[in-house]
Amino acid sequence: MSSCVTTPHHHHHGCFSGSRRRRRLLQAPAPRARPLHVVAAAAFLKHVAPPPRCAVASRAMSAEAPLGVTPAAAAAEGEEMVAVVDEMAEEAAVWCAVHGLVVGDRAEPHFCHHLQRSGTLPGVGLVHAPFALLPTRFPASFWKQARELAPIFNDLVDRVSLDGEFLQDSLSRTRQVDDFTSRLLDIHAKMMEVNKEEDIRLGLHRSDYMLDSETNSLLQIELNTISSSFPGLSSLVSELHRRTLLNRHGKVLGLDSKRIPQNWAATQFAEALSMAWTEFNNKSAVIMMVVQPEERNMYDQYWLINHLKESHGVKTIRKTLAQVEAEGQVLPDGTLVVDGQTVSVVYFRAGYSPNDYPSEAEWRARLLMEQSSAIKCPSISYHLVGTKKIQQELAKPNILERFLNNKEDISKLRKCFAGLWSLDNEEIVKTAIEKPDLFVLKPQREGGGNNIYGHDLRETLVRLQKEQGEALAAYILMQRIFPRASLTHLVQGGVCFEDLTISELGIFGAYLRNKDKVVLNNQCGYLMRTKVSSSNEGGVAAGFAVLDSILLTDEVILHTN
């Protein structure tokens, strides 16, 4: 799923107001005399090769020539860089088309019939996925920390999933005010009643982080346990930056392509799915990917399908929840059969949002799959572990000790936890009403566009306090994270523009267990998303962010004093 992100200091937001510069790609070049581009190019130079101790936004945007450099020389240098940017943007757009870094077209409203087909028919209505033209600088020490956390979070999800009472108790108040969570808990309770055991458990997770410039630390935004999207396309963006753009232009830009880490997310997710298929031990069985009826992000999914077929000889079928209900059945021995084919692994790329369940048919499909002996990725219990409320519960004192024995692992997890509170905490709620810009209000929803900020946060909290009902349990409060903003060239819909951005790093993790044997527990690649700093949301599929990669640096300080 596309997850949401928090935003930087509000004073960053005005720095670039009214100054966004766009260039349409793949057209006749504009005249050479472009004074605005001189400014853009000078800023671009400072962005890609900033001085030690990161420059703040105002310095990054400065177009002043360095001491000893004439304005004419600076202008010439700026023009040269503009030409490089234009060339790179065109190269990149072509590379995306040739290498499958594409999504369904979201373009303009009057193409609505075309849009509908672009989300249902492969090969119809493609556009390049939105991307950053150059990788984002990221300290190697925090990269190492994020990667080391993945296996610990994988293990934690598995252990929490086995404690059905903890999940039911922790979400008991949420279910009273959130119909969607209530329906998920109903399915979970039915599985508990019949003592349903998942001998083979597969998790494909993604833990999302931001670098907080206030505390100089890596803080977790959320942990995704269902539909962790973009392993396919994120792998391609890393290749675009590393092997294509920096290999050719790296010397001019002062950037080393070797500092972009390899990203094997697509192949490693596919390998984890194939290993689960192998553990199921039925060579005639298929993997079933559960998808939305109109899926703009289908090509990210097809990368996994292709890897499964070409590298592992495993067939994948794609079905909506409605199709599963119409075509599926569970045999007396627990075997799940859909459209006449035995299903070994159910891989959810849908089912995380109330919008995915427009009728009772979809809920019947979800229950049917859960009752079967097929491996669920995720199972209903894994799904519930990824809820915002469980994230908040796990951050409470002494709760991690309930599930983990290794004190060092517990310490590593706690170090990355941002402040998380229930709305029962009157003192925190009072502080949030007084200083709403320091908090984010999160409902139990996935997929982007759901979080509440600023003035809206204050109004919502005041209203909830007046109502004094169970509605408080539908939300959690989270510390707002303030990442450093930097100037970035973004490419969306064939247009290259420059803006102040912030970034969020997602680390993919794969976990496979068969009874007492841990078959696989790894971190496996990453997703870097970059978005305009004035946007409160961060989902790529939801249209808020672009795909990016990281350029590892030796810096350890995220802000200047």
Chain segment 164-205, per-residue pLDDT in tens = 999 999 999 999 989 999 999 999 999 999 999 999 999 999
Residue 118 has a pLDDT of 75
Q: What percent of the chain has pLDDT over 70?
A: 80
Residue 541 has a pLDDT of 55
Residue 185 has a pLDDT of 98
Residue 120 has a pLDDT of 79
Residue 449 has a pLDDT of 64
Looking at per-residue confidence, does 25 or 332 come out higher? 332
Taking residues 328-340, report their average pLDDT: 98
From the CB of residue 215, how many other CB atoms can be counted at a distance below 10 Å?
A: 14
Q: Are the beta carbons of 325 and 361 closer than 8 angstroms?
A: yes
Looking at per-residue confidence, does 175 or 79 come out higher? 175
In one-letter notation, the amino acid at residue 548 is D
Q: Which of 335, 374, 336, 383 is nearest to 356 (CA)?
A: 383
Residue 533 has a pLDDT of 87
Q: Which of 189, 103, 207, 194 is nearest to 148 (CA)?
A: 207
Is the pLDDT at 364 greater than 90? The verdict is yes
The top-scoring range by mean pLDDT among 15-19, 26-30, 515-519 is 515-519
Residue 124 has a pLDDT of 79
Is the pLDDT at 44 greater than 70? The verdict is no
Q: Which of 487, 483, 517, 503 is nearest to 39 (CA)?
A: 487
Residue 448 has a pLDDT of 60
Which value, to the nearest 10 degrees, does the dihedral of the CA atoms of residues 252, 254, 257, 260 take? -140
Residues making up the annotated binding site for substrate are: 206, 226-229, 295-297, 301, 349-352, 529, 540-541
Residue 543 has a pLDDT of 56
The CATH number of the structural domain formed by 421-480 is 3.30.1490.50
Taking residues 105-114, report their average pLDDT: 55
Instruction: Identify the band that residue 107 occupies on the pLDDT scale cut at 50, 70 and 90.
Output: low
Q: What percent of the chain has pLDDT over 90?
A: 70
Chain segment 450-478, per-residue pLDDT in tens = 889 999 999 999 998 888 777 888 888 99
Is the pLDDT at 510 greater than 70? The verdict is yes
Residue 137 has a pLDDT of 96
Chain segment 261-302, per-residue pLDDT in tens = 999 999 999 999 999 999 999 999 999 999 999 888 999 999
Residues making up the annotated binding site are: 206, 222, 224, 226-229, 295-297, 301, 349-352, 388, 442-451, 453, 478-481, 504, 529, 531, 537, 540-541
Is the pLDDT at 7 greater than 70? The verdict is no
Catalytic residues: 206, 222, 224, 229, 388, 442, 446-447, 529
Taking residues 543-549, report their average pLDDT: 86
Q: Are the beta carbons of 549 and 135 closer than 8 angstroms?
A: yes
CA 350, distance to chain mean position in Å, is 15
Return mean pLDDT, the chain: 85
Contacts of 413 (CB under 8 A, 6+ apart): 149, 152, 153, 156, 400, 404
Taking residues 385-394, report their average pLDDT: 95
What sign has the CA pseudo-torsion 104, 82, 262, 414?
negative
Q: What is the 3-state secondary structure (H, E, C) of 359-417?
A: CHHHHHHHHHHHHCCCEEECCHHHHHHCCHHHHHHHCCCCCHHHHCCCHHHHHHHHHHC
Residues making up the annotated binding site for Mg(2+) are: 222, 224, 446
Stretch among 31-40, 107-116, 297-306, 505-514 having the lowest mean pLDDT: 31-40
Burial of 34 (0-12, 13-18, 19+ CB in 10 A): middle
Contacts of 199 (CB under 8 A, 6+ apart): 514, 515
Residue with tokens 């496996």: 524
Q: Which CATH architecture has domain 126-418+489-553?
A: 3-Layer(aba) Sandwich (3.40)
What are the sequence ranges of the domains in the chain? 126-418+489-553, 421-480
Counting Cα atoms < 13 Å in the Cβ hemisphere of 560 gives 10
Residue 32 has a pLDDT of 31
Report residue 259 as tokens.
Answer: 């500092």
Chain segment 202-235, per-residue pLDDT in tens = 999 999 999 999 999 999 999 999 999 999 999 9
Residue 438 has a pLDDT of 94
